[in-house]
Amino acid sequence: VTGASFVVFNGALKTSSGFLAKSSIVEDGLMVQITRETMESLRQALRDKKDFKITCGKADTGDVKEYVDICWVENEEKTNKG
């Protein structure tokens, strides 16, 4: 689990890169590089207020992957206030 002050979603990751998605720490935030298709799906999920999971890592390996989960919550008091 990583806490961040901001999240940047970059939809310019090329399918030919061999990555499903890439995440990296940038200053005190998180940058997630995703493909254009994933960006379109993310935008629709945000419009519909649906949870969305982005799998990061190489597409051709079976290794443990990183995930970026976007979750809608009912009660804001249970979320991190920092």
pLDDT score for 60:
82
Sign of CA dihedral 77, 42, 1, 67: positive
Instruction: Indicate whether 41 pLDDT > 90.
Output: yes
Q: Which residue has the tokens 């806490």?
A: 3
Please name the residue ranges forming H helices in 1-82: 36-47
Least confident of 24-28, 29-33, 54-58, 76-80: 76-80
Instruction: Kindly report the CATH number that applies to the domain delimited by 6-70.
Output: 3.30.1360.220
pTM exceeding 0.75: yes
Tens digits of per-residue pLDDT, 45-76?
999 999 999 999 888 877 767 899 999 888 76
pLDDT score for 65:
75
